[in-house]
Structure 1
Amino acid sequence: MSNERLRAAIASAGLTLEEVGDRVEVDAKTVERWISTGRVPHATNRFAVATLVGKCTEFLWPSTLSEARTRSVSEAEFVMIYPSRGAVPSSTWAALLADAHESIDILAFAASFLVDTVPDFIDTIAGCARSGVRVRLLFGDPASDAVRLRGEEEGIGDSLAGRCVLTWRYLRPLIATSGVQARTHRSTLYTSIFRFDDDLFANTHVYGSAANQSPVIHLHRIAGGRMFSDYLEGFERTWERAVEAGPDHVV
């Protein structure tokens, strides 16, 4: 069975098989076999490749972990649960932004609460991007069926679409900022995701309830854990299907 996680990780890192081979000191054909046949490299090569592409070895080669250990490590990723998104202090969001040094990934329909409750949210995000943090913002298309249906399920009708429009208006100054990538999605959203480096907040979507009233799980990434990487994979799948929002994006 081919290793599509490894293939995708190498592509996302902007590397060729030859470049990976050179850095790990193996032949490019060996790297290709790791992908095409699912062959598991020796531990030294696993760690070298994982470091190169910015993934943990257990994500790239999950067969190297026993189920018992995987369960134990995944439990260790769990930090706490908030009964609702509204219970997360605004100072927590501000601290997560301030501490981010590598990646900020946000997936939601609107998440306009960030602008409303986090002081200088737009300027802070722009500052993070200018300092080298990769920022990916993924918000809903107000005209999509997914947004319409979610609005109906929450009993707020077109209000959710209106919030999406408001979010995109907030984002206009950011879209032109170097280091900020923004895309609009039309996907059914089961969980809003807020990722800041190795911390991830998963805001579940309870049928008929607003996201603000639904639980939030705080996870911290630990090598070998599954929960953080599972949510991040969901972000990546949505990102790949989304449409880039350029500087002239208007909704």
Structure 2
Amino acid sequence: MNDSLRNALAHRGWSSADLAQKIELDEKTVERWITKDRRPHRRNQRLAADALELSIDQLWPDDVRHDVAAAGAHAEIVGIYPNRASVPQWKWISLLKEAQTNVDVLVFAGTFLNQTNPRFPAMLTERAEAGAQVRLCFGSPSGSAVALRGEEEGIGSALGAKVQASLTYFSALRDVPGCEIRLHNTALYASIFRYDSQAMINAHLWGSPASANPLLHVRDRGEDSMFRKYIESFDAVWDSARLWTTE
């Protein structure tokens, strides 16, 4: 019996079927991990650990690495992805659905948000109606920062057009209490997606689109944590941005 995995599921209030659905595997496979203590392939270990927001060592501990596993429970880095495109879609949806107090988005265009999840604006409305503060900050389509980033990526004025297209999906949110959309003219070194005390930090590399760049999943671990530093950066850009009315 894998008590570590069983206890992790119980803590989240999940069944083996819930975990199987989230990581797109057969329920019987997950059940064998628990009842027969079968050790899955490394990729599936990572998927399960990411879903449960734990480390692999916590779910499949080795005696030699017990201390490392214990320390991992308090780590501020939840996950590391080689690029944004490799983050499972269920991860984005789960973080948004579970957000209770804050949803912050800082991007230039963020077109993937709607392209990969057509219900994204509706889900933001649901979060706001449930009491969360929703702040969306996009690049100003006609601003110098968007123009420069477009040149760096080699797509020129196309980035401004992508911002305009992305904004059309969010026009209804301007009338939703608890939602606010602003436009910034700031050089971004990372896109920030904050859900309560967790955040996805998508690095910006020169000449490379955000989808191809590394992403960190971090959580709040108090003063001087990476999470706090990035949220301070978000707040600074937000304060300098202007309210989006019409463009």
Q: Do both share a fold (TM > 0.5)?
A: yes
Q: Aligned partners of 1:230 and 1:139: how far apart in 2? A: 20
Alignment-derived partner of residue 237 in structure 2:
238
Q: Which residue is 1:185 aligned to? A: 184
CA drift of 1:223 comes to: 2.5
Cα shift at 1:175 = 1.1
Matched, 1:250 2:235: no
Contact 2:192/2:230 (8 A) holds in 1 = yes
Alignment of 1:33-48 (within 5 A): none
The DSSP-based 3-state class of the residue aligned with 1:98 is helix
SS of the residue 1:76 aligns to: coil
Structure 1 residue 170: Cα displacement: 1.0
**Contact 1:94–1:119 under 8 Å retained in 2:** no
User: Considering only aligned residues, what root-mean-square deviation do their CA atoms show, in Å?
Assistant: 1.5
1:205 aligns with 2:204: yes
Distance 1:212 1:94 in 2: 17
CA–CA separation in structure 1 for the residues paired with 2:147 and 2:128:
32
CA distance in 2: counterparts of 1:91 and 1:82, whole angstroms? 15
CA distance in 1, matches of 2:115, 2:101: 24
Aligned length in residues: 176
Name the TM-score, length of structure 2 as normaliser: 0.69
Residue 129 (structure 2) aligns with: 130
Alignment of 1:161 onto 2:157: no
Secondary structure, counterpart of 2:169 in structure 1: helix
For the Cα contact (< 8 Å) 1:192–1:202, is it kept in 2? yes
1:175 aligns with 2:174: yes
Q: Report SS of the residue matched to 1:97.
A: helix
Instruction: Tell me the equivalent position of 2:104.
Output: 105
Identity score, percent: 39
- Superposed CA offset, 1:151-186 (max 9, x none): 010011111111110121111011111110111100
- Whether the aligned pair in 1 keeps the contact of 2:222 and 2:228 (CA below 8 Å) is no
Q: Judge conservation of contact 1:77–1:225 (CA < 8 Å) in 2.
A: no
Q: Which residue of 2 aligns with 1:144?
A: 143
- What TM-score, normalized to structure 1? 0.68
CA distance, structure 1, for counterparts of residue 134 and residue 236 of structure 2:
17
Structure 1 position 203, deviation (Å): 0.4
For 2:95 and 2:77, the matched residues in 1 are separated by 17
- CA deviations on 1:110-139 (whole Å, 9 max, x unpaired) are 111011102411111011101101000000
Identify unmatched segments of 5+ residues in structure 2.
1-70
**d(CA) in 2 for partners of 1:183, 1:165:** 13
